[in-house]
Amino acid sequence: EVHLLESGGDLVQPGGSLRLSCAASGFTFNAHAMSWVRQAPGKGLEWVSLITGGTGSGTTYYADSVKGRFTISRDNSKNTLFLQMNGLRADDTAVYYCGRDFYTSGRWIDYWGQGTLVTVSS
Amino acid sequence: QSALTQPPSASGSPGQSVTFSCTGTSSDVGAYNYVSWYQQRPGKAPKLVIYEVYKRPSGVPDRFSGSKSGNTASLIVSGLQADDEADYYCSSYGGSNWLFGGGTKLTVL
């Protein structure tokens, strides 16, 4: 059974940093692209970042809203996905979900974690 | 990277059918058959209900169906049940980014 468990969400001040983790189990982690998707309180889903899997593992993509501030990475030996968030702003406040993509290169998310809450506030 | 366009709300009575629309551009919805739909109940993670425009994951009832015409994709839920009440989001691959719609809140009357 596919299982994704996010952690690392917290209350952080504007301008601060945070590192989210997503522990994966139940599938061949390195064979799949992985994404971060966020949802601000009461708002819709927003794609944040994706990292490819397979032989091309490690190609990264970012939404314009986080480019230059966030870095996605993966440790295939530990089946873990990361999101390093720097220069956090109030509008980064959201539940952050990690998602497994069906393909290695990223086309659609077939499994989601339960999310971790990031609150950016002074 | 504009979001896909979805109407904010929809409603229907039990047993009826409801159609959700999702409008993108020729660079995303119109360019690729990688449109997916997600159901999200309050306080829960999204759940995949349609992928690659019309395909259903195992366990999703055949009351859920999808289609696409040009830059607009659609999700049809037939035989509405109370349990279908949720937010529905469309998503599309856009070449080097992934887009979501703003979501449609379904109310079962």
pLDDT tens, chain B, 109 aa long: 568 999 999 999 999 999 999 999 999 999 999 999 999 999 999 999 999 999 999 999 999 999 999 999 999 999 999 999 999 999 999 998 999 999 999 999 9
CA B63 and chain centroid, separation: 13
Mutate to test the interface with B, among A48, A107, A114 (most CBs of B within 10 A): A107
pLDDT recorded at residue B1? 57
Binding-face residues of A in 16-75 toward B, CB within 8 A: 35, 37, 44-47, 50, 61, 63-65
Q: Give the pLDDT score at A84.
A: 98
3-state DSSP assignment of residue B90: strand
Cα separation, A2 vs A21, in Å, equals 16
Q: Determine whether the interchain pair B51/A102 forms a contact, defined as Cβ–Cβ distance below 8 Å.
A: yes
Backbone angles phi, psi at B86, to 5 degrees: -175, 175
Banded pLDDT at A78 (limits 50, 70, 90): very high
CB contact under 8 A, B1 and A63: yes
The CA distance from A56 to B70, in Å, is 31
Q: Give the pLDDT of residue B3.
A: 87
- Which pLDDT tens digit goes with each residue over A94-103? 999 999 999 8
